[in-house]
Structure 1
Amino acid sequence: MTDTSAPEQSPNNGPANVEVDTSYEDDSSYGDELSSYTASLTSSVLEYRQENGRRYHGFRDGAYLLPNDETENDRLDMLHEIFLMLLNRKLYLAPIKKPQRAIDLATGTGIWAIDFADLHPQAEVIGCDLSPTQPSLVPPNVKFLVDDIESEWAYERDPFDFIHARFLAGSIKDFGRLIKQCYRSVKPGGWVEFQDWDGYPVSEDGSLNGTDLQRYYDEVSGAFEKAGYEVSPGPKLEKWFKDAGFVNIHVQKFILPYGVWPKDPHLKKIGAWNQAQAEANGFEGAALAALTRYKNWSKEDVILLASQARADGRKRNIHSLFYFYVVYGQRPEN
């Protein structure tokens, strides 16, 4: 059974400061270093939207602003590896024991659900998403559904021992309602765990201020917010869990650097992977639909902004990082 003890990184606030690796004289060796770290459906569901050279989901068209093509799926699997590194190879932190029924909300490529099904072969595992992009060869105890998790659920009739959701920032408009749905759909004594970002990067030394990298996140996050999406759910999860009625709520906050500037080897590795996923068309993929649909940008202007952000991200004197939250709570036994 998986080890659910606390990761080594500080469980509440992360390190007070992340020390910068100053052993490099310039940015010329960045590329080499980065490479060393990162060596049954209806026809409407498959009628994908093609836009600006990317593919988007067809079911509930427009409800999700990121692509669902192979490029994006590869990036999501890279993020899965990043989260595993961040949590010391743990899929979850909630103290669940021998779950019989579990669901992964907005499962994406299905990689978390597949890993969970392998870890808990006695459990029935469901992964749901707007896009049917998951593999067909999966463990016998996992199945995937096309569903909109912001619509009304029917899972209350057959509740779960464990409900998991990860990286829903920018895809959900009403997290409070969603978490209340989770409460109604988990068994008494069962657990719900959300893992998510504060979507705005920061720098402890102010080096991010005024950069194109900061401007990218300001513009893109602003477009998502204009469309009605919550881009920084991480810091608010604890309140939403309390409002829904959960007890035994635990909050753990992690530092997720961008780039290889930290001196600490573990943070350096995570930062390298984070930068690699962003450079794997992550900048363009996150920005294209949001900026062209909601801020009337041209495709060319979006690509220019993404390239400027990418260039800033390669500068070792810009020490940007994100905060990532893991919050889990229990539905009372009675």
Structure 2
Amino acid sequence: MTETAAQEQTTANTPANVEVDTSYENDSAYGDELSAYSASLTASVLEYRHENGRRYHKYRDGSYLLPNDESESDRLDMLHELCLMALHRKLYLAPIKNPQRVIDLATGTGLWAIDFADQHPDAEVIGCDLSPIQPSLVPPNVKFLVDDIESEWAYESNPFDFIHARYLTTSIKDYEKLIKQCYRSTKPGGWVEFQDWDAYPLCQDGSLKDTGFKKFFDEVIGAFEDTGYVARPGAKLEQWFKEAGFVNIHVEKFIIPYGVWPKDRHLKKLGAWNQAQLESAGFEGGAMAVLTRFKQWTKEEVVVLASQARADGRKRDIHAMFNFWVVYGQRPEN
């Protein structure tokens, strides 16, 4: 692929300028290969950590700083719909053909794996996550495992046609290692696709300056990065794929607004869903553990910070947006 072609692919979904809808006036509208520790569920897998009114995983306690309770599950399901809308109802963009063996990393509530299994009934689909929060009634060709994707894998001897990972931001400390593990566990000619955020907001008109919305992400993203997590992986994925050895790498960047301020109807709809998922449980859920465990904030201080972000995010003169990246690559045939 030429450099010019790559640039065209990268910018295809990135408008030069997102126009503000000035007519908007209503602020309120809007397991064979299982590793030993996952072969049989230990007590820690089924236990939970309760803290500051939220529930967290106990298996590999502390390695993931977002909740796993019902409110968070609902938010993850909303994110699933948001990503489908952004990708025009596509679960993936990689040019896979007749996949027989597929894994969804950090599957969350498992909706992506379930939908993929429905679309590809001949494929064996695995979804793995630290928390067993997936439904029990699923297609016969999908199964869920409790596993830590940042630990050593044991899939090289039985590799995959397709490996998928989505919004791992603020949950992974070593993306380079993870992507290299994906390379080793992909069949020659197979594909790996990561869909991930730059979790820090941007705007085109300076309207985020001195807002509670910006302060929230300054504090929370800073805390995650200080703790060793990658919070802005999207733009780095292409380089990590190259370093791992992938070829035929394809990059696309999507704009995801926050709120219904864009004039474009598609972007307006994306913005409404993005606002809904963050307002539902995302602000407190994203901030609570990292700020109280590592930055000595109180629960009450986190609630105030989240409330200020939520209030500013509803103002029609604040035009926040996020970059969402889709990067896929192929393991060479030879």
| TM bracket (short chain) | over 0.9
The residue correspondences of 1:112-261 to structure 2 (distance < 5 A) are 112-261=112-261
Task: Give runs of ≥4 in structure 1 deviating > 3 Å.
Answer: 9-13
Deviation, 1:226, is 1.4
How far apart are residue 210 of structure 1 and its match? 1.5
Q: After superposition, what is the alpha-carbon deviation per residue over 1:160-193, rounded to whole angstroms, capped at 9, x for unaligned?
A: 0000000000000000000000000000000000
- How much does 1:41 deviate? 2.3
1:109 lines up with 2:109 in the alignment = yes
Counterpart contact for 1:66–1:285, Cα < 8 Å: yes
Partner of residue 27 from structure 2, selected from 19, 27, 30? 30
- Contact conserved, 1:102 with 1:160, CA < 8 A, in 2? yes
Q: Quick check: 1:305 aligned with 2:305?
A: yes
Q: TM-score, normalised by structure 2?
A: 0.93
Give the corresponding residue for 2:4. Answer: none
Distance 1:95 1:200, change over 3 A: same
Q: In structure 1, what is the Cα distance between the partners aligned to 2:79 and 2:109?
A: 11
What is the letter of the counterpart of residue 194 of structure 1?
Answer: F
1:131 partner amino acid: S
Distance in 2, Cα, partners of 1:65 & 1:261: 31
Aligned to 1:292: 292
Give CA deviations for 1:56-111 in whole Å, capped at 9, x if unaligned: 00110000000000000000000000000000000000000010000000000000
- Tell me, in whole angstroms, the C-alpha distance in 1 between the residues paired with 2:316 and 2:17: 17
Q: Distance in 1 between matches of 2:259 and 2:282?
A: 14
Q: Which residue of 1 is the match for residue 35 of structure 2? A: none
1:329 alignment partner, SS class: strand
Give a deviation string over 1:141-162, Cα, whole Å, max 9, x none.
0000000000000000100000
> 1 CA distance for matches of 2:101 and 2:10?
31
- 3-state SS of paired residue (1:281): helix
2:68 paired with 1:78:
no
Aligned equivalents of 2:153, 2:328: Cα separation in 1:
20
Amino acid at match of 1:317: D
Which amino acid is the alignment partner of residue 146 of structure 1? V
Aligned to 2:67: 67
User: 1:89 maps to what in 2?
Assistant: 89
Query: Does the CA-based 8 Å contact 1:12-1:251 persist in structure 2?
Result: no
| Structure 1 stretches lacking a partner, 5+ long | 1-8, 35-39
Contact 1:73 1:109 in 2 (8 A): yes
- Post-superposition offset of 1:124: 0.2
Task: Identify the residue that residue 52 of structure 1 maps to in structure 2.
Answer: 52
Q: How far apart in 2 are the matches of 1:114 and 1:232?
A: 27
In structure 2, C-alpha distance between the alignment counterparts of 1:209 and 1:141, rounded to whole Å: 49
Q: Quote the residue 2:37 is aligned against.
A: none
Calculate the TM-score normalised by the size of structure 1: 0.93
Q: What's the counterpart of residue 280 of structure 1?
A: 280
**Separation of aligned partners in 2, 1:14 and 1:100:** 34
Name the counterpart of 1:321. 321
Contact 1:56 1:67 in 2 (8 A): yes
CA distance in 1, matches of 2:257, 2:214: 14
Q: Kindly report the root-mean-square deviation, in angstroms, between the aligned alpha carbons of the 2 structures.
A: 1.1
1:211-268 deviation per Cα after TM superposition (whole angstroms, max 9, x unaligned): 1100100100111111110000000000000000000000000000000000001100
Cα drift, residue 13 of structure 1: 5.6
- The SS at the match of 2:190 is strand
Task: Report how far residue 47 of structure 1 moved.
Answer: 1.2
**Does structure 1 conserve the Cα–Cα contact (< 8 Å) formed by 2:10 and 2:251?**
no
Contact 1:12 1:253 in 2 (8 A): yes
The unaligned stretches of length 5 or more in structure 2 are: 1-8, 31-39
CA contact (8 A) 1:103 1:125 kept: yes
- Report the AA paired with residue 113 of structure 2: A
How far did residue 43 of structure 1 move?
A: 1.8
